[in-house]
Structure formats: structure tokens, C-alpha cells
A and B are shown apart, each in its own frame.
Chain A
Amino acid sequence: MFWNKAMETISGPDLRTLQLKRLTWTVRQAEKVPFYQSLLKNAGIRSDAIRSLDDLVKLPFTSKKDLRLGYPFGSLAVPLTEVVRIHTTSGTTGKPTVVGYTRADLENWADLMARDLTMVGLGPGDVFQNALGYGLFTGGLGFHAGAEKIGMTVIPSATGNTRRQIEMIEDFGVTAVNATPSYAMRLAEVAEEMGAGLETLRIGTFGAEPWSENMRRELEERLGITAYDSYGMSELYGPGAAFECEEKNGLHFWHDSFLIEIINPETGEQLGPGERGELVVTPLVKEAMPLIRYRTGDITMILDDVCPCGRGQKIARIMGRSDDMLVIRGINVFPSQIEHVLLSLPEVGEQFMVYIDRIHHLDEMTIEVEVNRDYFSGELGDLTHVQKRVAGVLRDSLNLRTRVTLVEPGSLPRFEGKAKRVIDRRGDIW
């Protein structure tokens, strides 16, 4: 089933003509943004000099850092009066990245989500439980709009209160659930505890964090569903930029809306199909926040095979990160953010170690910090207070609950050169 067959299957010269036209438009849109004016000037290229898609390589890359430097509205190409919504995503240090949407941006995003959900066989008659966070996180609202658009009955259940979630699946005859894969595991576990069969459930769409093929098999078996992988990020509207079709063999990118490349993250050189590297995306119809060659940090490859479903080129499921970003319960965390928080707290040193475990299918992040000698009174209560304060400030800053462990001063490893502060013990995640 197609939502927008013409755009989902566009290929060959038709696609290239459309992409070129939209690329030129996007660069013109970017020329309204001061930081892009200087990036483009430094690269010695202007929108009117783009003659073919091969000129893409002449354009500069955009990094997450570029977006952060413009906080809050430095990345907007339209006046705030035309921005109808704002989402934020975690930045690499203290400030989040702000993402703005015009009315047309929201419509385009909902259209892409509508394509995604239709592609996996959902539509009117389905009852869709959207168990992703609603709020600044783009996951909840993004899926919600697409799910309503295609005429499903949508339950904005968000996350938490897992037993109630199971009751709703049973009582409302839910046919499809959308969640992070780790929360889906939790749903499966609680359903089993409650003896709930979840007979009506047939499809699950999961994303926002890495999950392996083993986890897919387990989710499919325990929830009695077919599980599909979804891909996106706030900078590319949110979820839905790419999605698996019923073949479950790679994710279709929407090539009328995004120009994708794979590059060598070290050299920036373009790589061919089948070569593993960093995904770089140029959205083609974004009004409020145009991006040029945005470095996603996600490692994947372009798949060269033709998909029986008739849609365009796919990427492989995400295989890792080119930077040190962590994904914890669907939330992106950079170690530099943790460092930034610790520097603002005199009670503890700036050294830290991060341990990530998967406990009952949910990611738990433990941060070890050294107590500052000057703050040791000898009283246990004062130490507990320091521990709570560090956890509280981290929670406010990362939007994530963490476990904080106090250790003796001088006991954490000191690094010369590249620090290895993160020990990921989750095992099979990519």
C-alpha cells in the first residue's frame, strides 16, 4: 500500500530533476541564515552556481555544533511569526538544539509519517497506541500526526504506567504499537506477568534507539507482531525520514524530501553503495530550518539492491555512531554534556566514568564522580545530599534519570589523549 505512490516510487531522471530543483531551493533558503552565509562564502559556492547534483560535494557540511552555536534561533530561515512549533534535542554541551517548523514543514512531516505507516500495512481500522514521549521529544507528536492522517484510531498513551498500557491494548483492541524497542520489551514482560495475550496486536514500529535483529525476533515472538524499524532525528523533522517496508530488509529513505550521501567520517569523502560510513542528509523541502549536508553521526550504508516493493534506495539499519553520542532509553546523550554539568558543581571533581547497563530491558546509566575533598564534612548525610544534587542537575540537563555513584578523590582513571570514559555493557545493541 502506498500513501503517495508518485513520490514514493519516483526514480531515474524524474527524481534527479526534482532533487536538483529542490536542492537549489534549499541552498537559497539557507542563504537567508547568517551562519550558512558564512559557511557558503568560505566554501566559495552560491545557490545559483549549482548546476547538477554532482555539485553537492562543493557544498559545506553542517554539524550539530553549527546548530548549537546559533542557539536559540540562529538556524531559522524564516521569521518567528512563521514558526508554528518548536522542538528541542540534546546538544553536545549545555544548550539544546532548537528545531523550528513552519506550517508547511509540519504538513510535510506528517505526510512522510503517513507514507511510513501505510508502507507497513497500517490504515483505517487500525488502533494505534503511540507509546513514545509527547513533548519536546519529536517522537510522540511526529507519529501522532501521521497516524491520524491515515485515519487510524490513535491512543496517545506516551510512556510509563505500563500496566495501564497493557490494559488499553486489551480493552481497546489495539492492533499496532509504537515505542522504543526497550520499552516494547518492558511491555512484553509486563503483559506476560499479567497473563495478557495481546491477541489483537499485529504490528510494532520501533525506533529512537539502536536495536538488534535478535531483539526484533524476541519482540515479534513475545508480542505476537511484525516489528519494523524506523529512523529519523529532530533535525530531519523527527521520526519518519526512513522506514522499513514489509520486506524488513533495510529502510527506505524518502528521496523526494532528502538527498542522502554516505561519507568517510574521517576524510569527508563520498562513499559508494555497499560502503559503510556516516550518513549525511540534505533535507530538500524544509522551510524553517534548512540544512545542507547535515552530518547525522549515524553509521550505515546505501543498499544497492532493488526492493520488490517498488520504492527507492534503502539504507541498512544503523550500525553505530561516528561520534561518542549515546542513546539511553531513546534519549541522546553526549559525554561532553556530562562533563559540562560536572564542571558547574564544585562538590565533585570533573573526572567521571559512565557505565551503561541494560537492566530488565531498560538502559541504566551510572555515573561515577569523585567527591571534592573540601566538601567532605565526615557526615554521611552531606554526602547523600551531594549525590542527590549531582543526579538532580544531571536529570535537569540531560532529561534523563541517572544513577550517581560517589568515589574517592583521585580514584578515577586519568586519560592522556583520547579519553575512554564510557563503558557500554549492554552487549548486543547494534
Chain B
Amino acid sequence: MDTENFTIKQISVFSENRPGRLAAIARALQEEEINIFAFSIAEAKGFGVVRALVDKPGVAYKKLTELGFMVSFTDVIAVKMRDEPGGLFEIAKILGEAEVNIEYAYAYSGKEVAVLILRVDHVDDAIRRIRGAGGELLQSSLFT
């Protein structure tokens, strides 16, 4: 099984915790006509990391770096969930039993589907186990 097809490049952007920083990032993405599929902000004392799944991560990386932002790619996976009670449990249970640790996660719930984006310690294991259990992952080709 080729796990590469399901390993998605999330962009992680360092941001000081002050007004206007998210707007600056978002404007840059708009200028490049980049669509944001999902994003979250993790914050520590005085700074944070903006994490985003975008349709053109390579273009986003280039644009944000040119503007002086500190950007890096992080490998994540995106798992489709049933948008009903127990949907999250199904996925989390698989990973728990596989001893795969979730470092962080964020999710979105759309009209048709809910998606859980996961940063885990063993990406390949996670992909195999989720697919093995009949779970469905978004393909990385959606984000290139």
C-alpha cells in the first residue's frame, strides 16, 4: 500500500500573537488564489503556529516565505468521518489500538462530509491501520 498518496503537506506558519498577523497570511493566500481547506491556530506564550491545508501548498510556501514569514511543511493525514455521533470515536479508536499517538488534530464538518486532520507520530502506520479498518483518507493529490 502506497502511503505517500495519503500523506498530505500541511503548511505551518510561525506567527507572533498580535493583531493583523492572520490577516496578513490570509491576504497573501488570497492574492495567489489559494483556497484554504481547513486551518487551525496553536498558541503558546506570545506566539503561535498557523496550520493550514491548502489546495496549492507549494505556491503558498513560496509566497509566504517571500513575504518574510517562517513557513514549513508538516506531514498530516486527513480522514473522512461519519458526521454523526460516534464518527470521531471510530477513527480515534483505530489509532489508539494501533498505539499511534495523535500530536494534534483539527477538523471541519462540511455539507457532505466531516474530515479529521491529524498530525500523528507514525504516519505510515496510521494510514495502514485506518485503511485496513475500512476508513477513508483524502488523497494528497487534492493538495498539490
Contact = CB atoms under 8 A, between A and B. Distances in A.
Interface of A: 371, 373, 376-380, 383-384, 387, 405-411
The B interface is mostly helix, strand or loop, or mixed, namely strand
B48 A378 contact: no
Interface of B: 10, 12, 14-16, 42-49, 51, 68-74, 103
Nearest to B48: A380
Contacts of B15: 408
Given A383-B44, A383-B49, A407-B47, A378 B68 contact: no
With a 10 A CB-CB cut-off, give which of A373, A378, A383, A411 has the most chain B CB atoms: A378
Given A408-B68, A408-B69, A387 B49 contact: no
Contacts of B16: 406-408, 411
Nearest to B11: A378
18 contacts: A371-B70, A378-B10, A378-B49, A378-B71, A378-B72, A378-B73, A378-B74, A379-B12, A379-B74, A380-B48, A383-B14, A387-B45, A405-B45, A406-B16, A408-B16, A408-B68, A409-B68, A409-B70
A289 B49 CA distance: 53
Contacts of A410: 68
Given A407-B16, A408-B14, A380 B42 contact: yes
Contacts, number: 54
A259 B139 CA distance: 81
B144 to A, nearest CB: 18
Contacts of B14: 371, 376, 383, 406, 408
Nearest to B104: A380
A407 B71 CA distance: 13
A166 to B, nearest CB: 31
B12 A378 contact: yes
Given A377-B72, A383-B47, A408-B16, 6 more contacts: A378-B12, A378-B71, A379-B49, A384-B44, A408-B14, A411-B16
B72 A405 contact: no
Contacts of B43: 380
Contacts of B69: 408
A380 B14 CA distance: 9
A377 B51 CA distance: 12
A142 B48 CA distance: 46
Contacts of B103: 379
A406 B48 CA distance: 10
Nearest to B65: A373
Nearest to B74: A378
A371 B49 CA distance: 13
A413 B121 CA distance: 38
A356 B71 CA distance: 31
A383 B43 CA distance: 11
A254 to B, nearest CB: 47
A377 B43 CA distance: 15
B86 to A, nearest CB: 30
